[in-house]
Chains A and B, each alone.
Chain A
Amino acid sequence: MSTIAVVGMPNTGKSTLFNQLTGSHAHIGNWPGLTVELMQAELVLEGQPVQLVDLPGIYDLRGHSEDEAVVRRFLESTPVELVVVVANASQIDRQLRLALQVRQLGLPALLLLNMADEARRFGVAINTERLAADLGLPVILLSAKYRRGLAEARQVMAEALTGEPHQQAPVRALDSRLAQGDAALDGAMAQLVQAAVSLPPQWRDRLTRRLDAWLLHPLLGLPLFFLAMALMFQAIYAIGVPVQEGLATLLDQFGQGVIKPLLLPLPPFLQGFLLEGLYQGIGTVTAFLPVIFLFFLAMGVVEDSGYLSRAAYLMDAFMERLGLDGRSFVLSLMGFGCNVPAILGTRVMRDPGLRLLSMLVIPFSLCSARLNVFLFMAAAFFTPRQGGLVIFGLYVMSFVAALITALLFKGRFGSNEPLLLELPPYRFPTLPQMLSRAWAEVRHFWFWARRFIIIGVVAVWLLNNLPLGVVPASAESLSGRLGTLMEPLLAPIGINPKLTVALVFGFIAKEIVLGGLAVIYGQADPAALSRAIALDVSWPQAVSFMLFTLLYTPCLSTVAVIRSESKRLGFTVFSVLWSLLLAWLVSFVFFQGVSLLQRLGALG
């Protein structure tokens, strides 16, 4: 099968184009000689099956970043029949560089000028025939976001494949071939632009100008950003929480009305396990999917509109003083969805110190899996109004923990990496794209959650019911013994043996915590479960439990990705131990402080 590699600079809509070309058939593939995974997909071009590989976004084939090295290694190790170079049409004045470098390597290539709609709007006119003739490559203008020009692109790709001799060898002596043409690159680029492109005499994007005057305002910019974030979270909860509650009730009724009668012929312990363990555990997390969907939808809109990169601009001065930069802030924000992709995102950083410090900070971002524990606990212990404050406080704590961590360790992981970031024009995200993206994120979350919950619930149930004949979850059961064993450590922070078991399993994934609690307390119905927990523990214990849950290791996947990205076992262990220590200290100060105030009679 022929291999087609897709290369392009960051912010060219390359991934959107890749998704539009391949539909939803893309999957992650491993390539020999590469340490990173690449998205790839099979598709049929004019009856011919081909394999499309999405390479990381890069600025320069000779560049020094990890992504640039990945692209070089890929081209040196994989025979490629065709290279599709994706460029942002409105920035053609600088983006021809990659096309010229690919041509230099002697690889069959074609140039797709994406975002043609924007180029037209900004007054950039491109004579594609002239450009194709001068460049010696097919050139197509298209707009992947609005699905324009895709058919033509497919056709030209198919033609390029049939025209070329088929067995291509990997590129040899890549570096020296690129070095040869480097001096002439700028001149060649200027000549091409001169001949085939007409640029507007002045910037035409008045929308971006006007919005930036407010949103990047030296004084108002940051308050407006935090206001926008606060409103976003408010909207997510205002819509999501009622939906979640309705869904939880529905699922419970379905369990009691349909599943329970179906399970009647089974032995009682199996009935209990299937209904109160598995069904309830999965149901509790399912009910949170609407909130998570809304969260990813909102984050997708913020990202694709161009506001997220503005956040990097606004926060950079502050982050610089923490030894981080604007990108670390943006990645931490993305970590509020899920920590794993945020840690993968640190690949854009070249300096190892900056990367490690960012990886140390990101796990404190309150991810969607932790959020479902907090929403549940807040509803169990507080009025809706107080509960909102508790959730808000946990978000603040999440920032404070990241800040303390950065301040404490910036000396050890110092860096002076230059920061150059594009600020793209503001864009209107399209609804179908946003919906399909949020849907994909929720599916991903659900896939992990389901797996972990089943394993976790089985394990918790076994711990509660072994050794045989024991009263479930009593002090003699395995979970009881585990709780007793940890008591000297966890009693000072108000975590009782039952909560201890939930925390131990929460180390694997926070998605297990609620399902685990349902099994430990033997309560199927969410309302009954919250009553049972509220009877068993006091509100300071509950908040201490939430603080601990917020701060200690998010999940095994995060630990694994820190290990694979940092390539340092010592750092990974350090990151886990630090989060445990910080979690314990914060919970200790909170629990003992509140207990003291209560004894003094200052607090109810």
Chain B
Amino acid sequence: MLESSPPVQLADLAPGASATIASLSADPGLRQRLEALGFRPGQRVQLLRRAWWAGPLHVRVGMTELMLRRRDAALVALAA
């Protein structure tokens, strides 16, 4: 049996699933905002749901829930 590779994109997580943040590859401005909202390497992040029509993601990180676009979520690398 083939082992399925673990998801590396936040948008690809199954709704309800969690993963650990490995690194942020955003530009300094966005990186600062992500960090201020609780995105840090080592922190757990949970995907709660995806909006219709390739819309934003609803995620939870630490004690904070927020929405972010899939494009921006792609800059958050998850640990395998």
A residues sitting closer than 8 Å to B (CB atoms) are 9, 59-60, 62-64, 90-94, 97, 122, 124, 186, 199, 203, 208, 212, 216, 218-219, 221-222, 312-314, 316-318, 320, 326, 350, 416, 418-425
Contacts and interface: CB of A to CB of B under 8 A. Distances in A.
A199 B69 CA distance: 28
B1 interface: no
Contact of A94 (B26, B38, B60, B68): B38
A416 B72 CA distance: 10
Nearest to B64: A91
Contacts of B48: 212
B18 to A, nearest CB: 11
A350 B48 CA distance: 27
Contacts of A97: 35-36
Interface string B54-71: 111010101111111101
A129 B65 CA distance: 28
A312 B32 contact: no
A124 B37 contact: no
A90 B68 contact: no
A316 B32 CA distance: 22
Given A64-B29, A317-B54, A318-B53, A419 B63 contact: no
Contact of B69 (A63, A314, A316): A316
Nearest to A423: B65
Contacts of A314: 51, 55
A425 B60 CA distance: 12
Contact of B72 (A63, A222, A419, A423): A419
Contacts of B65: 208, 422-425
Contacts of A62: 32
B74 to A, nearest CB: 11
A122 B66 CA distance: 17
15 contacts: A60-B33, A124-B63, A199-B62, A212-B49, A216-B49, A216-B51, A316-B69, A318-B53, A350-B29, A418-B33, A418-B69, A420-B33, A420-B67, A423-B58, A425-B65
Nearest to A185: B35
A419 B56 contact: yes
Contact of A313 (B29, B30, B58): B58
Contacts of A212: 48-49, 58
A509 B51 CA distance: 39
A357 B23 CA distance: 33
Contacts of A424: 65
B67 A421 contact: yes
B77 interface: no
A313 B37 contact: no
A59 B33 contact: yes
B23 to A, nearest CB: 13
Contacts of B37: 59, 94, 420, 422
